[in-house]
Structure 1
């Protein structure tokens, strides 16, 4: 079921990209490029390698907060609709519970959890400034070896809402504020997902 769902998502994205490339329409806008920073907060007590708990204690997450950079591109295909692509680097910092979690190895310092999300999706503009965005793709684990992870990449999906704020004196330049939920399959032999909320603030401009 997992493989079927992933395959369906990729087929739909690929088909729509091909259709957009062939469509003979009047583009209402030009391509937009964005560069931004992210701050993230993990969801639940199982981010990283499953339930991180020491003997006789409640489940605690070894990673609570993260931050990083993101680059994204918006390609207009219809009025108020864009195809999107994004790539980033987000590092989740270990919490005070890391040394007591199951992933802690005696005498080995628990590393940060470094990820590289690569996603494609669609953006729908609501009015002139608000938008909703849905993306899916793969997240790469940048320090797989340090984290003793058997998998180096996992399927990711992410819905978000955002606000574009244009500069008054500079046409086609914007501040993009985006709030999203992101869910990634685990990198270990378990069914745990790595989920987090993220706020991104980016500078965008038209080519």
Structure 2
């Protein structure tokens, strides 16, 4: 909980600094911040576990598809679905053959993406994360609440409106096993996506 509070504080600090910077400059809008219609992106996600979850898992790799739906100038509603595989440690606690099972998740989230200054965004999403291998991981729930604050940069790569989206996010779930605190999945991840 303490680390998620720190991350939330950092995101709010970035947002505050961005608003202050916007008040001092004149922004030229681009296709990344205006209401040009729904934008789609497909990306690769990679990261490292945090909190107690890092004791049993090494890193994660996955992918996601996202739609950004314009609702106001520089403000979008996001819908995101993906897949994350968090790789378990081999020979856990130094015991040969004591391998921790990978955690396989399908997170489905919705939220808001706001561009306080040109090409820089702050995004927050929440939803449900579906555990595909509940029995392998000895959990008693297959669905948990997930939330993911993110900051990133989005910049155009063509005149037709295509763009690259690079963001860093913290993603965390509630417990998949009510009796085990470390059944909360927590990680910091980089998403690198191509948008159109």
Bucket of the pairwise TM-score, normalised by the shorter protein: 0.7 to 0.9
Deviation at 1:61, TM superposition (A): 1.1
Unpaired runs of 5+ residues, structure 2, are 1-33
Q: Match of 1:155?
A: 145
Contact 2:89 2:99 survives alignment (8 Å): no
Q: Match of 2:74?
A: 80
Q: Match of 2:125?
A: 135
Matches within 5 A, 1:5-44: 28-44=35-51
- Which one of 63, 67, 91 corresponds to residue 69 of structure 1? 63
Q: Match of 2:167?
A: 178
Are 1:196 and 2:190 counterparts?
A: no
Residues 135-192 of structure 1, C-alpha deviations (whole Å, 9 max, x = no match): 001111111122121000101111100101211x442100100100111111112344
Contact 2:156 2:162 survives alignment (8 Å): yes
Question: Which structure has more helix as a fraction of its residues?
Answer: 2
Residues 65-119 of structure 1, C-alpha deviations (whole Å, 9 max, x = no match): 0100111110000111000010110101112453x38xx9x97753211111110
Unpaired runs of 5+ residues, structure 1, are 1-26, 48-59
How far apart in 2 are the matches of 1:67 and 1:191? Answer: 23
Q: CA RMSD in A?
A: 2.1
How far apart in 2 are the matches of 1:91 and 1:109? Answer: 15
